[in-house]
Amino acid sequence: MVTPRLILVLGDQLSDDLSALREGDSARDVVVMAEVQAETDYVPHHPKKIAFLFAAMRKHAAHLREIGWQVRYTTLDDPENTQSIPGELLRAADATGAQEAIGTEPGEFRLIAALEDGPLPVHLFPDDRFLCGHAEFDAWAEGRKELRMEWFYREMRRKTGLMMEGDKPAGGRWNYDQENRKPPPKGLSCDGPLRHDSDDVTRDVLALVRDRFGNRYGSLDGFWFATDRTGALAALDHFIGQSLPHFGDYQDAMVKGQPFLHHAILSVYMNAGLLGWREVCEAAEAAWKAGDVPINAAEGFIRQIIGWREYIRGIYFREGPDYTLRNVLGADRDLPEFYWSGDTDMRCMNECITATMEEAYAHHIQRLMVTGNFALLAGIDPHQVHEWYLVVYADAYEWVESPNVIGMSQFADGGVVGSKPYVSGGNYINRMSDYCKSCSYVVSRKAGEDACPFNLLYWNFLDRHRDRFERNPRMAQMYRTWDRMDDDHRRTVLSEGDTILAKLDRGDRV
C-alpha cells in the first residue's frame, strides 16, 4: 500500500483551487481539517466569526468528500481532539501511517512557525489565491523610497487587464476617488447584506459555539452569514445589483443604525476562501460594462481588492513577524474598557463599537476614522489595538488586519503604509455622519466641558508628536493653524485634552 500524505486545509482555506489540493492525490492522500481551541483562543475571537468558520469548514469538508477526497475532520467537542493544528496533524499521521503533510502557506506567521516547528514535517506551498506573490511584491517594493498603494495598484491593473483599454485605464483615469466619498444625504439607507437562513449544520455549530464561547465578548444572536460557496456567490450577486452602483459615492458615509450602507460585506467570505478576487472584480467590471454601475463605483471597488487588499498582504509578508510589535510613537496607554462594551458618551464610538459587538463588522471608515482615530489620538498601545481588531471582526486574520491597524490606522510602523497619520478632529466625523447630532458632546466646541474629545485630543496629539510630524509637508498646515491660535486657548485645549487622557487612565467615563 502506498503511504498517504496528509493535506492540511485551514479554516480560511476553503477554496477548491488551493495549492495544497492541487499538489495532492485524491486516490492516496487524506485531507485534514480540525476545529481547535488553539485557533479559537490565541485571541478570543468574536463568537460569530467562530460560528461562521466552523459551519463553513464543516460544509467544505462535506463538499471535498463529494468531489472525491478522503477527509479527516475533527470537531471541537471530539474527546480525542488535541486542540491544536500540529497536534491534529500528528494524530492523523498516527491513524493513517502518513509520514509527512503538505499545506498552503497560512496567513499568520504564528501558525507558519507552529507548523514548521511541529513534530511532523510539513511542506507549505505558496498561497496563490492572491494576485501578487511575495517575490513579485518584493520586486515591486525593492529600491522604492515609499511603498505607496497607488503605484502598486496601477501595476495590478496592467497585470489583470481589469478596466483597461489597451495599456490605458478605462475612461482615461486610474482613480476616480474625486467623485467618491460624499457625505450622507438625509435619509440615506440601504437594505444591507443578503441574510442567510440557518440550516442543520449552522444550527449545530451555533449551539456548540454558544455553549463554549457564549460568555465571551460579542453577540451570537441573529447570525446571518452565508456558510458555503453558493451562499457567498448569492451575496456577491446581491451586492453587485443592490449596492455597487452607490458604493463609490457613499463609501465613507456613516449613518446611525445603518452599519452596512452600500458596502460589499464580502471580506468575510473572500478571506475564508469562499470567493476569489478575480470573480468578484470581474462581476464589478461586467456590471460597469453593462451600464448598470458608474465608473467611479466599479473602479473604486476594484481598487479596494486588487489594490488595497493585495498591497496590505504584500506589506505583512515583507515586513515580517515583528511587525505587530512596532510602536514608533511610543504609545503605551491601555485600551479603554469601553472598546469592549460601547459604554461611552461619545456617540460615534458607541455606535461603531455596539454595531461591531452585534455584527462582527464595521466598515472601513468606522474602523479607520472612529475607533482607530480615537485610539491613535489617545496614545493607546498599538499592540492592544491590533489585538482588539483581530478579536472583533469576522474578516480579521493577521495578514490583513495588522498592516491596516499597525500601519494604516496607528502609524506604529513609522510610515511604511501611510505617509501621514490618519487623525482628525470631530469635524470630519460630523461631515461624514449623523452621529454628532445625538451626542452628549458638542462637535463645534473646541474647548470647555462639553467639547468633542476628538477636537481636544487632536491638538494634544499634534503637540505631543510635534518633532516627528511638523516637517511632514502634508501636516505643516495643521501646525501653522495651531501656532496661529492664541496662547491661552492652546493652553486650555492641551490641559483639557490631558484631563480626558487622565480620565481614560483612571477608567472614568468619557
Using CB under 6 A, list all residues that contact ligand DLZ. 10-12, 34-36, 39-40, 45, 50, 53, 106-108, 111, 397
What is the residue whose three cell numbers read 482555506? Answer: 13
Q: Choose among ligand SF4, ligand DLZ, ligand FAD, none what residue 294 binds, the Cβ cut-off being 5 to 8 Å by kind.
A: none
Closest CA to 207 of 51, 312, 360: 51
| Alpha carbon distance 450, 409 (integer Å) | 26
The residue type of 392 is: V
Q: Choose among ligand SF4, ligand DLZ, ligand FAD, none what residue 40 binds, the Cβ cut-off being 5 to 8 Å by kind.
A: ligand DLZ
Q: Choose among ligand FAD, ligand SF4, ligand DLZ, none what residue 243 binds, the Cβ cut-off being 5 to 8 Å by kind.
A: none
**380 is a site residue for ligand FAD (CB under 6 A):** no
**98 is a site residue for ligand SF4 (CB under 6 A):** no
* Binders in 409-438 for ligand FAD, by CB under 6 A: 409
Lateral strand order in the sheet of 122-125? 70-74, 30-34, 6-8, 101-104, 122-125
C-beta of 478: minimal distance to ligand DLZ in Å? 38
Nearer to ligand FAD, 72 or 309 (CB): 309
Nearer to ligand DLZ, 26 or 83 (CB): 83
- Tell me the three cell numbers of residue 271: 478571506
3-state helix, strand, coil in the chain (%, to 5): 50, 5, 40
* Binders in 257-276 for ligand FAD, by CB under 6 A: 263-267, 270-271
Nearer to ligand SF4, 85 or 452 (CB): 452
| Alpha carbon distance 372, 364 (integer Å) | 10
- Given phi > 0 = left and psi -120 to 50 = alpha, else beta, which region is 473? alpha
> In terms of C-beta density within 10 A (0-12 exposed, 13-18 middle, 19 or more buried), how is residue 367 classed?
buried
- Tell me the three cell numbers of residue 197: 437562513
Q: Choose among ligand FAD, ligand SF4, ligand DLZ, none what residue 439 binds, the Cβ cut-off being 5 to 8 Å by kind.
A: ligand SF4
**349 is a site residue for ligand FAD (CB under 6 A):** no
**296 is a site residue for ligand FAD (CB under 6 A):** no
Cα angle 161-166-172, degrees, rounded to a multiple of 5: 95
| Alpha carbon distance 395, 393 (integer Å) | 5
C-beta of 93: minimal distance to ligand FAD in Å? 33
| Alpha carbon distance 391, 397 (integer Å) | 9
| Alpha carbon distance 315, 318 (integer Å) | 5
Task: State phi, psi for 259 to the nearest 5 degrees.
Answer: -65, -20
C-beta of 376: minimal distance to ligand FAD in Å? 10
* Binders in 423-452 for ligand SF4, by CB under 6 A: 426, 429-430, 435-436, 439, 441, 443, 452
User: Which window, 113-121, 343-351, 360-368, 458-466, contacts ligand FAD (CB under 6 A)?
Assistant: 360-368
> Count residues contacting ligand FAD (CB under 6 A)?
28
Binding marks (x or -) toward ligand SF4, 309..348, rule CB under 6 A?
-------------------------------------xxx
> Cβ(399)–Cβ(106) under 8 Å?
no
Closest residue by beta carbon to ligand DLZ? 11
Query: Taking the alpha carbons of 206, 211, 216, 222 in that order, is the dihedral positive or negative?
Result: positive
Site residues, ligand FAD (CB under 6 A): 263-267, 270-271, 301, 304-305, 308-309, 312, 363-364, 367-368, 372, 389, 393, 395-396, 400-401, 404-405, 408-409
Site residues, ligand SF4 (CB under 6 A): 346-348, 426, 429-430, 435-436, 439, 441, 443, 452-454
